A and B are shown apart, each in its own frame.
Chain A
Amino acid sequence: MMRLAATTVALLAAPATAQEALLPYEIVGDTIPKSLTGAPGDAERGRAVVVKRESTCLLCHSGPFPEQRFQGDLSPSLKGAGARWSEGELRLRLVDAARLNPATIMPSYYRIDGLTRVAQNYRGKPVLTAEQIEDVVAYLMTLKD
């Protein structure tokens, strides 16, 4: 919580932007088969997104991040995620995990509708940008064992 709060303070300085529409995407079965941006993500940048506090992943997850002392255990380890899931499955899990399991605690990282009392500085913004989602998907696909 302490670290989350510190993050909030840092982001308060950013100017509030007007609500931007999300890029459209198509769900097929339990996947989003196509890249949100139309371009492949960058795995190295994706790893950096995952370990960054503001992204919130390591609040709940652990994984192959020896440099991160604080990792969570509210959910499965990210280790081997790229072997368990296809790219399209991972994309939907990041974009809107609640679609697959309405009771999940995992936040929807690319969604702005259906939310309640969002803090002013986060209103109308997804947790991650489309580019960041693609980078994280590319990174998770490298986690084969």
Chain B
Amino acid sequence: MRFAVDAIRRRPGRSAATTVGIGLATALVVILLALSAGIQTSATRLATASGIDLLATSANTSIASGTFPPLGEAHSISSSLKGADGNVVAASPWLVTSLAYANASLYGAANASRNGTPVPPGWAPVAAGTVGWIPSANAGLKVPEPLVGPGFSSSGDPHYANGSYAGPVTRETEVDQGLASLLHVAPGDLLWVSDRSASGPSDLPHWFANASAFRIAAVTQPFWLIPSALLGFFYLSELQALTGSAGPGKDYASLVLVHLSDPTNPSSDQALLGREFPSLSFFTIGNVLTVVQQSVDLYRTFGTIVGVIALVVATLFTTTILLMSVEDRSRELALLRAVGFSRSRVGLFVVEEGFLLAGIGLVLGLALGWVGATTLNQFLDGLVNGLPAGFTFLSFDATVVIGGAVEVALIGVFASLGPAARAMTLPIAAELRAP
């Protein structure tokens, strides 16, 4: 190792440039590794924490298509699935749609507009994602918790009333922080909701006449599972009534989320339920994550190209520096050979120098990579709303550090091969005779 340290000390500028080169390449690769690890780890952690082990949609649906026809008989699905597979703890039908929401201020402005007072500019119903569910069916599933307000008063779905849709209508809704903030509403306030939109201020009285008023039972956390920062939650049957999907022969839901008692082998439950319910398609979380991975293949391929190119340039750079070092010290190496040092020993000196340069580059690269990853993570966090606690885009963990170390070791090995061979084959007599 003394040979390597001495070689580096003799040419500090050149050595510094080399380590900076290796460090930059390492930092780039480390950031790419951290990005890949972060998204994969977070996605897996969220999928596990969600409590969702299987997803059911209408038959023959591809999960990649994103939209699928509704499922019928949603309220009875839960008991049917539990009956068919004892491993099913909860099966929660969700109706996912989009509605227009308006607050009491707009309601007042719309009424005033009948007397000729114009609706203030910019005031209009707001579109937001909407989920209808049966609160008690969500047992075991991670759904957004109320932050303010008591939440739904009933754990069931009172209006459904065994399919008659004649039970009491609660007119309760929960909204997430984003929607509550946009509409300036709090628990206890009224919201008007419709699956139709108003075409303009003159249409507002008609729109309110056809909209339904709901009282806000809670303001909830954001919900990462639905890609929208604006969300409202309703009892399933009341949302079905709003969207015209209530009634015999309908009772629609978009999908069913299934929680298993023993989630270690969801594929067997998937197969069992698939056989029992041919009108449904079942997907494990693994299937969903695979689709997600396939959709980011494009970015992963080009990310790999970026990393490989950085590594090749750093390796070529280090090779040249080591070749220069061998040339500079050719007399010294020849002398070592002349006094009995074996070829392999002399070659080892060069490999040690390569590893030392790469090691210093690793330290620099990890430091730069950590700074870059932290900054990029903060930037991306600021861009996306509604991320759950613990979600990180970049994960700077042990696997990333090990990945960086392996990469640097590869640079050290490949960069030293040529220069070591050169050192081992130096013509001893000619080198010693040279002026």
Do chains A and B stick together as partners? no
